[in-house]
Amino acid sequence: MLAKEEDTPEGVEPIEWRLLTTLAVQSFEQACEKVAWYTQRWGIEVFHRTLKSGCRIEDRRLGHGDRLEACLAIDMVVAWRIYHMVKLGREVPELPCDVYFEEAEWKALVAYSTKNPVPPEQALSLREAIRMVAKIGGFLGRKSDGEPGTETLWRGLQHLDLMTDVWRVMASGP
C-alpha cells in the first residue's frame, strides 16, 4: 500500500509511506483506516519501551505465570499513566496539574522543587508540574532540550512517590 501526502507547501517534499500489510485493503476507506492505524504505531512503541525500560517488566522473576500476569497488569497501568502524562503535557499543557496529580502529589512536588514549604493554593499548569517531575528524574530543561519524555518522567515519579508520602505525614501534624 502506498500513502503519499497531498497539498504540501511549495519547496517541501511530501511524506511517502510504503506500508506492507497482511490485511485486506479493497477500498480507499480501508486504506485510510490502515494508514490511521499506522500513525498510532509510534505511541505504541513508546508505551512498550516505558513498560520494558521504566517498569523493567523483563527483569521480573516471579516464578509463575499468574504472578507475572498480575504484575504485568499493574505495570501496564503505570506505563500508560506515564505515556498519557507526556501526551497530555504536550497537547494541552495549560490544563491544571490536578487533572493528573493528586493534591498531595502536586503540593509535595512544588514544595520540593521551589524549596518553599508553603505551596500555592491553586494547582500549577500540567506543563509546569511535568517539567518539575522530569527535572527530579534528570531532565535538564535547556532551551534546546524540548519537552521531557517518558524516561525522565518515570524516574522523577519514583522520587515523587516518596516525597508525597513524606508530605502526607508532615501535613497530618503531630
Per-residue pLDDT tens over the stretch 12-59: 898 888 888 888 899 999 988 988 888 888 888 888 887 777 777 777
Nine-digit cell string for 105: 502529589
154: helix, coil or strand? helix
- pTM of the entire predicted model: 0.72
Domain ranges of the chain: 2-39, 41-171
Kindly report the average pLDDT of the chain as a whole number.
Answer: 88
> Which whole number is the average pLDDT over 130-140?
95
Question: Which DSSP category does 14 fall into?
Answer: P
What is the pLDDT, as a whole number, of residue 162?
93
CATH superfamily of 41-171: Transferase Inhibitor Protein From Tn5; Chain (1.10.740.10)
3: helix, coil or strand? strand
Question: Which DSSP category does 17 fall into?
Answer: E
Residue partners of 58: CB distance under 8 A and separation at least 6:
52
